Amino acid sequence: MIPIASITNIAPHGFHQVVILFLIGIIVGFLSGLLGKGGSAIATPALQVFGGIAPYIALASPLPMSLTNAVSGSIAYYKERLLHKQVILLTLYWGVPGTILGSYISKFVGGKMLMIFTAIFVCVLGISFLIPMFVKIPSMATTSLELTDNPPVWKTVTIALSVGLLSGLLANGGGVLFAPLFIRWLKMPTKQAMATSLIVAGGLALPGTLVHWWLGHIDWWVVLILSVGSIPSAYLGAKAAIKMKSQTLEIIFGTMLIIFGLYDIYFSLK
C-alpha cells in the first residue's frame, strides 16, 4: 500500500515557481553531466533558496532527477568509452544496502540539521579540489591509472559502503562524493571518474527515491519540472566535459561546490 504522505506531497505550483524550477533543472542538469553528479547537492540548496521548497522536499525531490540525468549524460560518455564497468558494478552492489539504511535513518534527523551537514560536507569536498592549486600534496597528485586499469576491489567496496550510507542519509545520489573519491583514492582519470560517478549516482538514487517516496518526502510536480529542464542539458554538459581539460573540470567542480555549500549554510543559519 502506498503511504498517504507520498500522495499528499504532490501539490500544484504557481507559474513563477514553475519557471524557477525549470531553470534550476537546466542548470543542475548541465552541471550534472559536466561534473559526473546526480545533481542533488546543487539542486537541494537551489530549491530551498530560490524555489521556496521545504527542507525535506528539497532534499529528496532531486533524487529521481538523478536517474534521468544519469541516463542522459551517460549516452555521451558511453560513446567515448569512459565508463568503468567493474567500478560501476561493485559500487552499485555494495552501495545499495547502505543507501537504503541511510534513507531510513534520515527520518530521525531534523531537516535543518541535514541541510547544514550537507552544505558543510559539500564545502569540504570543494576545497579539496582547489588545494592542489596552491599546495603540492602527494595524495592529491595527478591520477596514474590508465582507462583500462582496475583499481583495488577493497577500495571500491569501502567507498561504496560508506558513501552509500551517507547518500541515503543526505538524500544525495552520491556523485558529489563518488567523483572526488574515485579521482583521489582510486586514482582514476578525471573524466572517467566523473562518467562512472554519474552512472553510480543514478543507480543509487533509485533505492533512495523509493524510501523517501514512502516517507512522503518527494513532490512529484517538482521532479517533473526539474527533469524537463535537466534531461537535455545533462547530455550537453557531458559533451562539454569530454572536450575540456581535466584540470579545468576539477577547478570548476571545486568552485561550484564551495559556492553552493556556503550559500546554503548562510541560508540555513539565518
Reading the chain (270 residues) residue by residue, the pLDDT tens digits are 444 344 344 445 688 889 999 999 999 999 889 888 777 777 887 888 888 888 878 878 888 888 889 889 989 998 888 889 999 999 999 988 887 787 777 667 665 676 677 778 778 878 877 877 766 555 444 445 556 578 889 999 999 988 888 777 766 656 677 887 888 788 888 889 889 999 998 888 887 788 778 888 889 999 999 999 999 999 999 999 999 887 888 788 788 778 877 877 876 776
Say what the alpha-carbon torsion angle 167, 168, 169, 170 is, to the nearest 10 degrees. Answer: 50
Q: Give pLDDT, residue 9.
A: 45
27: helix, strand or coil: helix
pTM of model > 0.85 = no
Nearest to 31 by CA among 266, 254, 268, 267: 254
What is the C-alpha separation between 224 and 65, in angstroms, rounded? 8
Nearest to 177 by CA among 79, 91, 107, 240: 91
Length of the chain: 270
Q: Tell me how many degrees the CA angle 48-233-54 measures, rounded to the nearest 5.
A: 10
Angle between helix 175-184 and 190-214 (nearest 10): 150
- Other beta carbons within 10 Å of 203: 23
User: With contact defined as beta carbons under 8 Å apart, do 262 and 119 qualify?
Assistant: yes
Q: Which residues contact 53 (CB under 8 A, 6 or more apart)?
A: 47, 61, 219, 222
Q: Give pLDDT, residue 227.
A: 93
Amino acid at 39: G
Q: Give pLDDT, residue 181.
A: 85
